């Protein structure tokens, strides 16, 4: 759930960059102004522990729902395979995925492996 009714919600992609740059898996991420829970949801998706504070009960409930959804859906819009993609590059992502899935080792038929012999040694 990327979009909520919170007036100052931040994009998950932005928060993911910050979390990845400043923590490691299993670290604790603290957000003293939890809002709609973007930081906590991203922390959950990136295997971090989190602690957040929110005074507004409506936004706290919204954050709780969002965190629960993050437990089941680990995708972050614009982030795939460890890469942050620019907008409108979904077709490039698909092509990259297809290329990596179809990549096979190159075999050269009829090639003779190079062998060393004693006659070339001095």
53-62 pLDDT, tens digit each: 999 999 999 9
How much is the pLDDT for 85? 73
The per-residue DSSP string of 69-112 comes to HHHH---BTTEETTEEPPTT-HHHHHHHHHHHHH------TTPP
Query: What is the phi/psi pair of residue 101, to 5°?
Result: -75, -30
Residues 6 or more apart whose Cβ sits within 8 Å of residue 64: 37
117 lies in a domain?
Answer: no
53 lies in a domain?
Answer: yes
Angstrom distance (rounded) from CA 16 to CA 84: 9
Give the mean model confidence (pLDDT) for residues 88-113: 54
Range of the domain at 16: 12-102
108 lies in a domain?
Answer: no
32-44 pLDDT, tens digit each: 999 999 999 999 9
* CATH number, residue 74: 3.40.50.150
71 lies in a domain?
Answer: yes
Q: What is the number of structural domains in the chain?
A: 1
22 lies in a domain?
Answer: yes
118 lies in a domain?
Answer: no
Helical H runs in 23-86?
Answer: 38-45, 57-72
Comparing CA positions, the residue from 75, 54, 74, 72 lying closest to residue 63 is: 54
């Amino acid at each position: 759930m990327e979009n909520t009714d919170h007036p100052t919600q931040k994009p998950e992609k932005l928060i993911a960059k910050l979390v990845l740059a400043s923590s490691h898996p299993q670290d604790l991420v603290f957000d003293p102004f939890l809002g709609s829970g973007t930081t906590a949801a991203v922390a959950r998706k990136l295997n971090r522990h989190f602690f957040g504070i929110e005074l507004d009960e409506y936004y706290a409930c919204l954050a709780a729902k969002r965190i629960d959804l993050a437990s089941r859906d680990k995708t972050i819009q614009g982030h795939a395979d460890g890469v942050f993609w620019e907008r409108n590059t979904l077709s490039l992502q698909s092509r990259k995925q297809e290329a990596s899935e179809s990549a096979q080792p190159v075999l050269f038929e009829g090639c003779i492996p190079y062998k060393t012999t004693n006659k070339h040694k001095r």
